[in-house]
A = this chain, B = another copy of it.
Amino acid sequence: MADEHALIQCLPAHLREEAMASAQRVRLNPGDMVFRAGDGCRGLPMVLSGSVRVQMLGASGHGIVLYRMGADDLCTLSIGCLMAGRGYRAEAHVEEPTEALLLPSVVFDQLMAQSGEFRQRVMASYGRRLDDLMLLVEEVAFGRMDQRLTGWLRAHAVGRPAAVTHQALAVELGTAREVISRLLKEMERQGQVRLARGKVEYLER
């Protein structure tokens, strides 16, 4: 049971103590929202364990999942909000019971100044996120929906059925619920998938 974030563990003892002393420990439950679009940012969240989904809401009411934060991730989005002093553009939903630290921005800056390893990890984390988003842009712009859906199912619904509604899948891939319903129905006809209310199982061949 890691009690500290990898980013904290990598710090020399005196900085680590200071970080832990000023950080606020947060416990979140599935369904909670960490922040909503427009919210101000009150510190830098670092996820210790669990999973948080970050998504955007389009004008049409549709949404799309941008990325997820898991153990040892930090919320790169928040850094931008802290620096620019504007609100979040996305919203974050807790998916699994999650523990997190909320680090005051002053302390964050101090750690950035004083620990090379901390800097390194933060920048790397930022790079990864940028990369994720670039891949997402490419997928959304050029990917075919049936292949994106199959990709998701292969990653999440092999072996045992995944507990997910068509609506949730639509948000996951940034499309409309009807599109998912039709694609799944077709895949079912072809025996690639087994469907039940709120469940989808992908059948490997």
Residues of A within 8 A of B (CB): 56, 58-60, 62, 64, 66, 76-77, 79-81, 83-84, 89-90, 109, 112-114, 116, 119-120, 123-124, 126-131, 133-138, 140-142, 174-175
A59-B142, A140-B141, A141-B58 known; A127-B81 Cβ under 8 A: yes
A130/B127 in contact, CB under 8 A: no
Give the docked Cα–Cα distance between A123 and B129 (Å): 14
Residues from chain B with a CB closer than 8 A to the CB of A58 are: 138, 141-142
Most buried by B among A109, A113, A120, A123: A123
B128/A130 in contact, CB under 8 A: no
**Number of chain copies forming the complex:** 2
| Distance from A54 Cβ to chain B, minimum over Cβ atoms (Å) | 9
Give the docked Cα–Cα distance between A22 and B133 (Å): 32
Give the docked Cα–Cα distance between A86 and B128 (Å): 11
B127/A119 in contact, CB under 8 A: no
A58-B142, A62-B142, A142-B60 known; A135-B84 Cβ under 8 A: no
| Distance from A130 Cβ to chain B, minimum over Cβ atoms (Å) | 5
Give the docked Cα–Cα distance between A167 and B112 (Å): 44
| Distance from A167 Cβ to chain B, minimum over Cβ atoms (Å) | 16
B129/A130 in contact, CB under 8 A: yes
B127/A56 in contact, CB under 8 A: no
B80/A123 in contact, CB under 8 A: yes
Give the docked Cα–Cα distance between A124 and B60 (Å): 29
